[in-house]
Amino acid sequence: MKILAVSFLFMNSLLNIYGQSASQPAFNTTFSQLSTIQVEPKVKTYGFVHEETTGITSYVIIKGKRKPIQFRADSDPLAVNSLYALNPRISLPNTDGKKLFLIGQYFSEPKHTRSCRGCADSEEYREFKLVDWYIITPFKITREDCGPCPYLREENLRKKSSLEVNDFDDFDGRDNLDVSRFQRKKRSYK
C-alpha cells in the first residue's frame, strides 16, 4: 500500500511539474482514500463443510478452522444452482472439508445475518464469491434403501465412482449439465 501511495504522489508531482492537470479521476485520490481501497481476494480452493442447522449452514476451511459463509449475488449461477441441487444423499456424507471443494473468493470483512423479532439470532459470516466447485471421486453416497438416514453411519453408505446428471435435483440448466466439470479423480501416490 505504501508503494502505491508513493507511486501516486510521484505521478501527481510529475503531472504538476509539466503543467498538466491532476484532476483526472485516476489521479484524484488522496492517501487516506488509498488506504481504504479494498483489494479483491485471490481465487482459491477451499474445503467445504455443510451442517443441517436453522442458522448458517455453509462453511469453508481456512487455516484448519471452519469459517461461516454466504454466497455473494455475483457468484457463478451454474455453480451455485448445481451445488444447491446436488442430491443430499451425496452432499451430506461428503461435506466434511475433505471431499467437496469450493473455488472462489473469500471476503474477510465480517457481515451479519439480519436480526428481527421472531428471527433466529444474528450470526457473523463472510461473503464468498463462488466460481466453481468439485467433488473428489470416488465419494460416499447414502444407500437408497436406508430411508432418510439422518445418521450417516458407515453401514448406510456406499462408494460411487462418478457424478451423473440424475445426482442433481431439477434446476435451470440441469439438462445440458456437463458433470465432469464438478469432479476430480483422487490422485494416487506411489
Task: Give domain status of residue 90, yes or no.
Answer: yes
CA distance 120 to 117: 8
Q: What is the pLDDT of residue 31?
A: 53
- Note whether 143 and 49 are same-domain residues: yes
pLDDT (0 to 100) of residue 71:
98
Q: Specify if 190 maps to a domain.
A: no
How many other CB atoms are there within 10 angstroms of residue 185's CB atom?
A: 10
CA distance 48 to 50: 7
Report the percent of the chain where pLDDT is more than 90.
56
Q: What is the pTM of this model?
A: 0.75
Q: Do 117 and 79 fall into the same domain?
A: yes
Confidence (pLDDT) at 8? 43
One-letter identity of residue 184: R
Flag residues of the chain having pLDDT under 50.
Answer: 1-27, 190
Residue 53 shares a structural domain with residue 31: no
Grid cell for residue 14: 510529475
Question: SS3 for 97?
Answer: strand
- Amino acid sitting at position 149: C
Any domain includes 160: yes
Q: In 3-state terms, what secondary structure has residue 82?
A: helix
* Structural domain containing residue 23: 2-36
Which cell goes with 84? 444447491
Assigned domain for 107 exists: yes
Residue 167 covered by a domain: yes
